[in-house]
């Protein structure tokens, strides 16, 4: 009889839990999505799966959009859109750079807070410092909207304090805007359906974030360092497109259908999946030799290039420091690092705020 007890317990176990309710699904919260309209902003949120709308008027040149759901802080939005970002500037006394956030707002906040860039209320706390983000906020993770608003608000606050946030376009920004949604988190397909517009339309040129993205460069120079998402290939250099012209063409092409940018000779080199500035992986996949990297740097007149796009375990140094990779796999939502250049000293900022030496590159982790 004793030997049958485990069998009875196994048969009765499901019955003991049959009446317990299933865990409720997570609420669908997102927003706000803001569009300039007349003397103010039309705002939309999805809160607990329900659409909410409001019009917020501009007063004294700005509007304060209250927090409802999604991004947890009130937003300060200027009536006039921000001008194009300066794509060339001197190296400041303190610079931080990270890349490939991919909707991982929590890791982004933790990194910025631990390393002293933001305060407990998520406000800018780095004075005249410069934060560079090498693209790819869109896709994969579940808090793309929150990450964009944090960066947009920090840029506004940093400029008031003498610093700045420099956002550089990644391949996923261009992909989302030309309706390539292969990596879109399912949450955002639901949001777009509820709001009654295709997802890329939520970032049209008349939206606040869409306009903000359209003033971002794809290639930026800070002192003797070039920042971009993928990298500069010899093939792209051979096209004879300088930095300013490349940035202009990227800005003008955002939101243009994929087939059109691929077919247009003015934009095709910018969107080539192997050699363009937003897609190139040659520094890490064996295509680039030390001699080729040296030649590219000499032609560009810089001493190093800082790139994202290719996921690594750590921020790392390649080609004797001439290339620094800063995609530290934040997209996984588990960890992340940032590059720090403080009074000329280069280090890694870790998730707990520790400063650590740059590691030698260990090779490609995975494609993005």
Residue 151 has a pLDDT of: 98
Whether pLDDT at 76 is above 50: yes
Whether pLDDT at 22 is above 90: no
Whether pLDDT at 3 is above 60: no
Residue 29 has a pLDDT of: 98
pLDDT band for 5, please (50, 70, 90 cuts). very low
Encode pLDDT of 35-44 as tens digits. Answer: 999 999 999 9
Query: Which structure tokens are listed for 248?
Result: 């202009």
Residue 84 has a pLDDT of: 79
- Mean pLDDT (the chain) is 93
As a whole number of angstroms, the distance between CA 321 and CA 306 comes to: 10
Burial of 258 (0-12, 13-18, 19+ CB in 10 A): middle
As a whole number of angstroms, the distance between CA 214 and CA 96 comes to: 23
Query: Which structure tokens are listed for 191?
Result: 């949001």
- Please enumerate in sequence order all residues whose Cβ is within 8 A of that of 126, keeping only pairs 6 or more positions apart, or say none: 94, 96, 116, 117, 118, 158, 161, 163
Residue 181 has a pLDDT of: 98
Whether pLDDT at 6 is above 60: no
Q: What is the mean pLDDT of residues 257-271?
A: 97
Domains of the chain: 30-78 (no CATH), 88-360 (3.60.21.10)
Taking Cα atoms as reference points, which of 12, 89, 74, 7 lies closest to residue 43?
A: 74
DSSP state, residue 230 = S
Whether pLDDT at 332 is above 80: yes
Instruction: Find out whether 77 and 67 touch, Cβ atoms under 8 Å.
Output: no
Residue 2 has a pLDDT of: 42
Q: What's the alpha-carbon Rg for the chain, to the nearest Å?
A: 23
Taking Cα atoms as reference points, which of 316, 314, 311 lies closest to residue 331?
A: 311
Encode pLDDT of 289-319 as tens digits. Answer: 999 999 999 999 999 999 999 999 999 999 9
Whether pLDDT at 8 is above 70: no
Bond preceding residue 169 cis, omega within 30 of 0? no
Residue 190 has a pLDDT of: 98
Encode pLDDT of 349-368 as tens digits. Answer: 999 999 999 999 865 555 55
Residue 18 has a pLDDT of: 45
Instruction: Measure CA 259 to chain center.
Output: 24
Geometric angle at alpha carbon 61, from 123 and 74, rounded to 5°: 35
Residue 82 has a pLDDT of: 79
pLDDT band for 157, please (50, 70, 90 cuts). very high
Burial of 292 (0-12, 13-18, 19+ CB in 10 A): middle
Query: Which structure tokens are listed for 354?
Result: 């520790």
Query: Which structure tokens are listed for 312?
Result: 């690594």
Q: What is the mean pLDDT of residues 242-265?
A: 97
Residue 365 has a pLDDT of: 53
Whether pLDDT at 7 is above 50: no
- DSSP-based three-state secondary structure for 148: helix
Encode pLDDT of 185-234 as tens digits. Answer: 999 999 999 999 999 999 999 999 999 999 999 999 999 999 999 999 99
Which residue shows structure tokens 């790139």?
A: 307
Instruction: Find out whether 229 and 174 touch, Cβ atoms under 8 Å.
Output: no
Q: How many other CB atoms sit within 10 Å of the CB of residue 275?
A: 21
């Amino acid at each position: 009889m004793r030997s049958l007890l485990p069998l009875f317990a196994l048969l009765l176990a499901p019955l003991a839990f049959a009446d317990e309710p299933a865990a409720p699904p997570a609420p669908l919260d997102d927003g706000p999505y803001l569009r300039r309209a007349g003397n103010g902003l039309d705002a939309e949120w999805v809160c607990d799966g329900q659409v909410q709308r409001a019009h917020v008027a501009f007063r004294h040149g700005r509007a304060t959009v209250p927090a409802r759901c999604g991004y947890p802080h009130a937003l300060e939005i200027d009536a006039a859109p921000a001008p194009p970002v300066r794509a060339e500037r001197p190296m400041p006394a303190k610079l931080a750079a990270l890349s490939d956030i991919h909707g991982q707002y929590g890791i982004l906040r933790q990194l910025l807070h631990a390393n002293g860039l933001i305060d407990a209320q998520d406000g800018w706390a780095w004075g005249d410092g410069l934060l560079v983000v090498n693209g790819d906020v869109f896709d994969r993770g579940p808090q793309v909207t929150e990450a964009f608003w944090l960066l947009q608000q920090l840029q506004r606050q940093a400029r008031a304090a003498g610093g700045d946030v420099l956002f550089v376009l990644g391949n996923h920004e261009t992909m989302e805007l030309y309706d390539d949604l292969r990596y879109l988190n399912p949450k955002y397909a639901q949001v777009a359906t509820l709001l009654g517009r295709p997802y890329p339309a939520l970032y049209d040129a008349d939206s606040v974030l869409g306009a903000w993205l359209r003033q971002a460069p794809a290639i930026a120079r800070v002192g003797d360092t070039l920042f971009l998402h993928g990298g500069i290939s010899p093939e792209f250099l051979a096209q004879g497109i300088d930095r300013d012209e490349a940035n202009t063409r990227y800005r003008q092409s955002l939101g243009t259908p994929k087939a059109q940018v691929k077919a247009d000779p003015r934009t095709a080199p910018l969107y080539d999946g192997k050699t363009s500035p937003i897609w190139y992986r040659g520094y890490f996949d064996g295509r680039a030799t030390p001699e080729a990297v040296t030649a590219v740097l000499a032609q560009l007149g810089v001493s190093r290039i800082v790139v994202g796009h290719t996921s690594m375990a750590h921020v790392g140094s390649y080609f004797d420091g001439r290339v620094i990779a800063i995609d530290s796999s934040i997209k996984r939502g588990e960890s992340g690092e940032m590059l720090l250049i403080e009074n000329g000293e280069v280090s890694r900022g870790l998730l707990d705020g520790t400063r650590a030496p740059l590691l030698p590159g260990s090779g490609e982790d995975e494609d993005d």
